[in-house]
Chain A
Amino acid sequence: MTPTPEVQPLPHTQRRFVFISALVIFCITVPLLVFYAIGYRFDPSGEVSNIKSVGGMYVTSEVREIDMYIDDEPVEDMRIFQSAAYIQNLGAGLHQIHVQGEEVQTWVKELPVFSHFVTEVQSFNMPNVPQVRIITQYTDIDGASVFFGATTSLPSYFASSTNTIVATTSTATSSYALDSEYVYVESLFASSSEETLLLEKQRLADLKKRFSFGESSTSTPLRATTTKEYRNTRLYEKEGDVFIQWTGEPDDIPYYYCIRSEGSTSTALLYGEHVSTSLQAQLFASKEIRFSTDSERRDDRQCREYIRIDRLDSEVLYFDYFPNSRDLVLMHLGDGLHVVEVDDRAWQNTQLLYSGDSIEVVTDGGQIFIKDGDYYLEVFTEVQQ
């Protein structure tokens, strides 16, 4: 018998079969996956149709090691390198999201999800117990802060301090070093008092304007010394309320300035009456207000230029941007320092960062300093290890 290699080249018919099979799979798979990607799902239990439309929610958080719940069900698919979750397959309607973790305050929001769209939201979770660092006038040779008191025991609110504190009953300071940070922070609070005075003047000017006749009102705020600007936003006080204004390009506007809605009634139902009111007010207000015309109803969303920051019906003693963020605002109210989210859809979550009815607050270079009685403290926004 003539020897020939047993394994022959791949037969053409076999190759053609594999090719046609692949082509058929391609033709079937592409539309299926495209429909899936758009947000269609097969639902055998559907009453009207076996095909249902879904949307999603994308939740981010600054805090790692948190738990998320959507409609009281835990969210399993958290991103590995960031505290975020893309929650898929949500039916259209309102969904409640909880974000909680150990030693941090719980954040809750109820937002609408629309078919084929993703609702974005950012949570924040401040520590349950204030995280502070005491800044004393003197430090000892080891760098520990020195506390002068009647006894050698420390006040209870020093318990959460992250730095070492040495208590002494002696008033002698010769063996200690003057802490330069203390001097600097003290100077910050001295200049802050002057600013507070200006804030009062601004408030009085606002009151006068309210009772004067014949002056055209304008929606553009007076540029008070208390106005702060950060990353295309302006934070200012007007008539006792604090507002944040988007000053950047319309295309870059953060998602929470905009809502997806088909009428004022549904807006109120889905996002709250205050959002509906604020949207209508801005739509019918002066032409000078940007985002106010129909042409600027961008991609089926309606966007506002201003958002009022919730002050819990209290007087605002001080306000500023939360360090390195335009999404959160620090509000010094009567009972302490609060962090309020700008996102007012449904409601604005407010979390107490430091309680006290006789404190002063100042921010500097991404740090938050508090004067509580005779002491200066730095307040941290994350749980310190």
Chain B
Amino acid sequence: MALLQISEPGQTPDPHQRRIAVGIDLGTTHSLVAAVRHGVAECLPDDQGRVLLPSAVRYLGAGRRAIGHAAREAEAEDAENTLVSVKRFMGRTLVDVAGHARLPYRFVDRPGMLAMATRDGEKSPVEVSAEILATLRQRAEDSFADELFGAVITVPAYFDDAQRQATKDAAQLAGLNVLRLINEPTAAAVAYGLDNGSEGLYAVYDLGGGTFDISLLRLTRGVFEVVATGGDAALGGDDFDHALADWALAQAGLQAGTAQDKRAVLVAARAAKEALTDAGTVTLQATVGGEPLAVPVTRAQFDALAKPLVDRTLSAVRKALRDAKVGREDVQGIVMVGGSTRMPCVRTAVSEFFGREVLTNVNPDEVVAIGAAIQANALAGNARDGELLLLDVIPLSLGLETMGGLVERIVERNSTIPVAKAQDFTTFKDGQTAMALHVVQGERELVGECRSLARFELRGIPPMAAGAARIRVTFQVDADGLLSVSAREQVSGVEAAITVKPSYGLADEQIAQMLKDGFAHAEDDIAARALREAHVEAERMLLATRSALAADGALLEAEPLAAIDALLLALEQARRSDDAAAIEAATKALADGTEHFAALRMNKGIRQALAGKTLDQV
């Protein structure tokens, strides 16, 4: 006979003793998954002991694909069908991608986001990223022999709304529950901050394969506050490879005509660059058009090629310092992140700029994933309460197009999120009954120079004289940095709202279609998956509500308490059925029905935490 567990009075039995949550660094050149095991955050290796998964997917035809190392090895010989560094195409159209003509892909321009034609059909960067995420998810589930509770996924701090949304879509496609998107430099600081226990102003210099980020963070008593971010979403180690490859070809008087040649020279350039970290001179070797290419490169020659790129990073650093209104001497430490910071010329330039040695004692490839894992563990409720809180800012201003193609900024960049801002607009013509709203992101004053995020219309405004209508537009940015916009005419109460799904248009039904098409879930039946997700969500809600009642049920009068009990019972009953829609409806009813209770608990929590304390104790 099984023994029944009895918990102590006042304590909530928790069937999920420990929830498995992972941190994922979805990188341009490679990706990693990490988790906290036995109190230590570590990267999870694959079955051959490797932690780095090359961010490469090769489409083999007939729905088969090779992911990671196998794909990377075939890069030179099957360049068109081997997609690498797709992170720089996330949420991007062809015109956004500088130098795309040099890349060996057959790009397909689509509104909102480009795609690449392969022998298996057109693939969007979201689909390619989802393949990589699904592989990492599988690796984690194999490591723990259990399902994941959720994941924290990192994005460059500089990612705009479209790029963040694309990342979240890829995770959803890969079947991951996203606990939070966090900025890569923040994750790196988490990894360092907890190791070193330092307080003060820190800079995180993150030069990855395809993106450069500079973040200024203030660390105070377990709170990581991003005070400013900046960078360049199209500058990274790949650019150093390109610079070296172009130079080597020019030295040899050769041209790379075919996709295969281009890829071969790039691979050779990357190898030469990496070798120059330790050696003074190397020879770049490749085969171009059947001809052998062998160009000796000294470190000084490479440093000269790299200098314009390094200088571009430093001007972004200056801008971030200016945004934060601090001098370079105020920075107490510089965390180096990303494999490209192994280049001696980068370390020297950054050390000289700040006038102090940069920090490099955590593996720059792993540091982001490790920080993400620590945060995932805290969000899953495994860490002690109050240990870690990340307060992020929005990287780029959000605004609306106004008359004459000008931008009215509504949410300023570097505002702490979550944030909501409202602004009133009015009509321009007499009797105007509709208003077109164009949401943009960026720092420039002209709409044409900002990124267009979404367009929507507010219709049914009662005819009034020009300037009489009061249209309140509200921007809300959640903790992941994702935007929703609503508009309401104040006199008539007419409303329109949009969750800014960037115009590349992976609508929910398209994601559902991709899942149905067997993406990453070949064996999975879509209905079964929906039912399982409904069950998980219902359980989560039941558990959360019962714990809340056990802790704070006394806050409720008899009547609302009975109402919540009834909703609990209804969900319990619905859960026993196989009707996903009914379970979802009952879960939603419980969530809606407990909102007032949640507000009461929040008030109590704040009062307890803060009341009676003098300010210097806080």
Tell whether A pairs with B. no
Residues of A within 8 A of B (CB): none
Residues of B within 8 A of A (CB): none
